[in-house]
Amino acid sequence: MTTRNGWLANASRFLHENLLWLLLGSYGVAAIWSGPGMAARGISFGEVALAGEHVKMTLPLLMLSLLLFNAGLGVPLDRLRGLARRPAVLLAGLAANLIVPIAFILGVSQVMHFWHNNDEVQNILLGLALVAAMPIAGSSTAWSQNADGDLALSLGLVLGSTLISPLTTPLALRAVGWMAQGDYAEALFGLASGGAGAFLLLGVIVPTLLGIAVRLVLGPDRLAPWKPALKVANMAVLLFLNYANASASLPQAIAQPDPDFLAVTLAIVIGLCATTFAAGWTIAQALGAPHDQRTALMFGLGMNNNGTGLVMASLALANYPRVMLPIIFYNLTQHLVAGAADRLICQRGPARGEPTTHPPHGIELLPATGTTGLA
């Protein structure tokens, strides 16, 4: 058991340290060899009816549920106790996670009126809508902790945004739907009113809560021997999930290259990512939050659960494959921006004499962080 765990720990460390390159590799494979990915996307295990909505239980959805279940296994709830006594930054973060991206998309919709191809604009808006509608990424807790951020606030943002996503996701989709046009607007309104809530409940909230419940029953000590195996399984599922979803859009982008569309999409995505990161720091600073809470809020607002958006797009917006490109770009961009922010924070550090709300070192990383944020 010790030898096996040692091998798994080394494999987990390798996968984690090279995650960005492995993601790029999975997208590269999807661009040139999409067959297995398209076949996996087509595997279905029937439908589930919930409150009048029907959710198709596809293989990607079940893989996403597995990632969120593992995320729930890694949530140390005891870290959240202090949030009830100082909820202002948490509540501001949850509100900003909805408002800031929508405000940015509104600006994009106005500026892009001048773009020469309205169909490209609509695809970008749909992709950004799914980015804005997703809950905060679990991997933001790992980035925040690495930069001495407030782990309790990071966890609260992830769990809070996940639990309220059946309310906030339809709101975000409808808001961007009013900015979109024609069939694209109808697609967003249809997704908001007929499927988003049931999808999030079955694919995100239920597995997350189930993972938390299993952790409470078994306890962290019993789960500890399984951590290396869970990490490797998470990475493998994550990479295949990204490959399968990218198989629907990247081959077309390679076969019919459109440099100006790709360039403007990447520029807009970078702008959105930089805006959300900056907004997190600025809002926390305006509230007088200490350095570690500013750090946590910055990573929280900047990093979204884009894997959920990819799965949702693959199920509900299959007729619009280019919608996935903004989500794929954001998936990679948020980790590049997080790396840059982490380096900047480590160089500067908190102001002299500035208080923090928890001791920055000696806290164990969540078993699933670094994986679920992309999932």
What CATH number did the domain enclosing 44 receive?
1.20.1530.20
What's the token pair of residue 372? 């679920």
3-state secondary structure of 6: helix
Residue from 81, 132, 147 nearest 298 by CA: 147
Q: What is the mean pLDDT of the chain?
A: 84
The per-residue pLDDT for 364 is: 36
Q: Which residues of the chain have pLDDT under 50?
A: 352-353, 358-375
Contacts 24+ apart (CB under 8 A), 273-281: 273/302, 273/330, 273/333, 273/334, 273/337, 274/337, 275/100, 275/104, 276/100, 276/101, 276/104, 276/301, 276/302, 277/301, 277/302, 277/337, 277/338, 277/341, 279/96, 279/100, 280/93, 280/96
Q: For 315-325, how does the pLDDT look when each residue is reduced to its tens digit (9 = 90+)?
A: 778 788 889 89
Q: What are phi and psi of 339, to 5 degrees?
A: -65, -40
The per-residue pLDDT for 306 is: 83
Contact by Cβ (8 Å): 190, 173:
no
Concatenated DSSP letters of 85-152:
GS-HHHHHHHHHHHHHHHHHHHHHHHHGGG-S-HHHHHHHHHHHHHHHHSPBPTHHHHHHHHTT--HH
The per-residue pLDDT for 246 is: 85
H or E stretch including 220?
Answer: helix 220-223
How many domains, in total, are found in the chain? 1
Q: Which residue has the tokens 């280019």?
A: 322
The per-residue pLDDT for 354 is: 56
Distances (CA, A) of 276 to 266, 283, 325, 358, 372: 15, 10, 19, 24, 19
H or E stretch including 46?
Answer: strand 44-50
Q: For 140-176, how does the pLDDT look when each residue is reduced to its tens digit (9 = 90+)?
A: 888 887 788 888 899 899 999 999 998 999 999 999 9
Domain that holds residue 352: 2-374
Contacts of 63 (CB under 8 A, 6+ apart): 237, 240, 241
